[in-house]
Amino acid sequence: MSIGLLDRPITLGLFIGLITGNWSLVLGVAVFFELLWIDKFNAGTYIPPHKMIATFVTILLALDLELYRAGQVLPILFLTIPLAFLGSKLESWQRILQNRSYDKLLSWSKSNLDLFQPKHLIKNSLLQIFLMNSVLFLCSFVSIKYLYAYIRPFWPLYIEGFSWNYLWMVALLGGLLSLRKKSLYQYLILCGGLLCLGVWLAG
């Protein structure tokens, strides 16, 4: 289900940032997930990865565990990425469950218009997807929190020189590779070369 700009990690990041004031962490995570699947969007029957649940769980876990640097949050990012695919699968299952509602609409339109009450079907559908996502969120939050507690002793608390910029560049690779046009790669290489030349001349 898509609700425009409200269904974007960056929007969620701005909202949580206003509440918490921790802009570095929140926007770092939000921009990462925004770039990671920038080439994936709702089109027809295609359901893209559920970016919002991965973003939400990552931010809340990082705040709960007091992890604010990119290097500290990195294990949680890897653990929450599969949630996006699980969330899209969950939405697909919910759409299959809603086939009964579609059958009811067809039946009402053909036989008894007096019983035509689509608002009840919409309410039930919204309640159903809300409960399914809530259960997914709670189970994911608890399980990943305990899993991270196991990983944490083996993970360095600080990685020298590692910043959000590196994560954003890695996340952007998928979008660049999806372009699949030779001319765009040529322009990308040209711009990169000019940028390096500019940095070298400035230095």
What tokens does 82 get? 């599969």
The Cα 68–Cα 53 span in angstroms is: 19
124-137 tens-digit pLDDT: 778 888 888 889 88
Among 13-22, 25-34, 116-125, 183-192, whose mean pLDDT is lowest? 183-192
Q: What is the mean pLDDT of the chain?
A: 79
H/E element holding 8? none
Residue 25's contacts (CB-CB under 8 Å, 6 or more residues apart) are: 59, 62, 63, 67, 68, 73
**Mean pLDDT over residues 67-84, rounded?**
87
Q: What's residue 60's pLDDT? A: 92
Confidence (pTM): 0.75
Identify the bridge partners of residue 47 per DSSP, sorted by sequence position: none
- Is residue 157 over pLDDT 70? no
